[in-house]
Amino acid sequence: MTEPKDFIAGIGSDIKKSQKRVLFVTRRTSAQVRVFDEERVQTYPEALFRAALAIELLTIALVLISLFFNAPLEGLADPTNTPNPAKAPWYFLGLQEMLHYFPPVVAGVLIPMVLVVALVVIPYFNVNIEADGLFLKNRHRRLNIFYAGAIGLSLFLWFFHVYVALIPTLVIAAIMLVAAFSSPTSSQPLRRYLAAKPVSWWVMTWFLLELIVLTVVGTFFRGPGWSWVLPWRS
């Protein structure tokens, strides 16, 4: 039914030498030994020179940018004169956008803490290691959880008027719906691809989309009083 997975879950038993990866696959009768052997090259010079070249190209790009674009510098800091809007650095503008809808303790403390903890625990759950397609096992139960989660989250965001975060949520939910009714043996490559995606992939992709949308909105589309502005009409 399912396509062969892209990896085999398990710990490489030969990390010390790492010339060969040995994996034991127990069958009903006897253990099989599979050996992967592959070409290895010297770190010096092969890898180090490539790394150096990559860093040099990056440096050239950054030098060119620095020659043509000046870093912003505004007037002397003045505690009595609050600019409107006062914006955090761009990578925090997603959180500042949340600050617009939720109390600071939620947007500024709870959400970032949940994010960090969620990122840290990813590799410690077997469901993320095995990474089976979300709707392939326990289909009925998982569909119900998905419906409840997606509708619950959407209603929550709608209730607090967080339309900026609601739209990416709906987009991901719609794609997940396509995945739920796709089979890994489908004739369409996209549906095969989506059907094989595990739960962590969906959550992370949702997070990535939210991160991009919220940061772009906060950086370019928010003006005085955190109202909507168009960046090209200033």
Query: What minimum distance in Å lies between the beta carbon of 22 and another protein?
Result: 12
Query: What minimum distance in Å lies between the beta carbon of 147 and another protein?
Result: 26
Nearer to another protein, 113 or 148 (CB): 113
Say whether residue 33 binds another protein (CB under 8 A).
Answer: no
Q: Write the CA distances from 9 to 12, 125, 128, 129, integer angstroms.
A: 9, 12, 10, 6
Say whether residue 220 binds another protein (CB under 8 A).
Answer: no
Region from 97-105, 166-174, 179-187, 226-234 binding another protein, contact rule CB under 8 A = 97-105
Say whether residue 74 binds another protein (CB under 8 A).
Answer: yes
Say whether residue 81 binds another protein (CB under 8 A).
Answer: yes
**Two tokens, residue 197:** 């995606």
Say whether residue 131 binds another protein (CB under 8 A).
Answer: yes
Say whether residue 25 binds another protein (CB under 8 A).
Answer: no
End-to-end distance of the chain based on CA atoms, in angstroms?
Answer: 56
One DSSP character per residue, 121-188 reads HGGG-HHHHH---TTTSSHHHHHHHHHHHHHHHHHHHHHTT-HHHHHHHHHHHHHHHHHHT--TT-SS
Among 22, 25, 122, 148, binds another protein (CB under 8 A): 122
Say whether residue 225 binds another protein (CB under 8 A).
Answer: no
Say whether residue 72 binds another protein (CB under 8 A).
Answer: yes
Phi-psi region of 41 (alpha: psi -120 to 50; beta: other; left: phi over 0): beta
Contacts by 190-194, CB closer than 8 A, 24 or more apart: 192/3
Among 69, 159, 228, 232, binds another protein (CB under 8 A): 69
Nearer to another protein, 83 or 152 (CB): 83
Nearest CA to 192 out of 208, 207, 206, 181 is that of 181
